[in-house]
Amino acid sequence: VIYTSGSTGIPKGVVLTHEKLTNFLTWMADECAIGPDSRMLHSAAPVFDAAFGEVFATLISGGRVVVCSRDDLLDVRRLTGLIERHGVTHTFGPATNVAPLDPTACPSLRCVVLGGEAAPPQLVQRWLAAGARVLNAYGPAEASVACTWYDASTGWGGPYVPIGWPMPNRQIHIVDA
C-alpha cells in the first residue's frame, strides 16, 4: 500500500499489484539504462509511489541509491553538491525537484525522468541542451507509479511536453469527460 500525493488534500491509500509494479520497474530499468554504474537520486518519501522507481528500479539493476534528505532537496547548493559528490546519473520525480538545478553543474546526471506534475517545456529544453535524456512519465498512483511515457529527446510540437504512449503491457483509454 502506498499513498497518493493528496491532490484533494487528503492522501489515500492505494494497493499496488506485484504485476503492475514489476512491469513499471522493468520498464524504468530498461528504458533508463539503469545498470551497475548508475546512481539514482532518492528524494521521494517512502510512502509515495515515486520512491519505488527510485529505489527498486535501481536495486534490481545493480545500481546505487543516493539518499537525498529534505534539507538537501530544498537547498540548491546542497542538492548540486550531493549530485556532484556521488556522481548521480538518474533522477525520477516532479519537475519542481530539478527546476532549481543548473544542468551544466550536474554533468553526471544523464537521465531525468519527470512525473507527478506537468513537465515545463523550458525546463526540459535546459536539460536536453546539457546532454541529458529526459522522459516524461504520467499516471495516477492507482496505475502503479506511471502508465504512459514520452521521450522528450525526440522533440515535440506544441506548447506542452506530451505524456506519450502506454508503457509495455499497459492500455490506456481516453475519454471525453
CATH of the domain at 94: 3.40.50.980
Confidence of residue 5 (pLDDT cuts 50, 70, 90): low
Range of 85's domain? 11-166
> Is residue 98 a part of any domain in this protein?
yes
In a domain, 177, yes or no: no
Tell me: the pLDDT tens digits for 134-171?
A: 999 999 888 888 999 999 999 998 899 999 999 999 99
Q: Is 175 inside a domain boundary? A: no
In a domain, 70, yes or no: yes
Please give the model's pTM, rounded to 2 decimal places: 0.92
**Position 11 confidence tier, pLDDT thresholds 50, 70, 90:** confident
Q: Is the model's pLDDT at 6 over the cut of 70? A: no
Nearest to residue 145, comparing CAs of 55, 51, 49, 57? Answer: 49
| 74 domain-assigned | yes
The domain tally of the chain equals: 1
pLDDT band at 177 (very low <50, low <70, confident <90, very high): low
Q: What is the dihedral of CA 18, 24, 25, 28, to 10 degrees?
A: 180
Task: Confirm whether 171 is domain-assigned.
Answer: no
Please give the angle made by the CA atoms of 64, 119 and 169, to the nearest 5 degrees.
Answer: 65
Asked whether residue 120 is assigned to any structural domain, the reply reads yes
pLDDT digits (tens, 9 = 90+) for 70-95: 999 999 999 999 999 999 999 999 99
DSSP type of residue 167: P
Q: Give me the pLDDT at residue 154, please.
A: 94
d(CA 76, CA 67): 15
- Would you say residue 174 lies in a domain? no
Euclidean distance between CA atoms 138 and 165, whole angstroms: 9
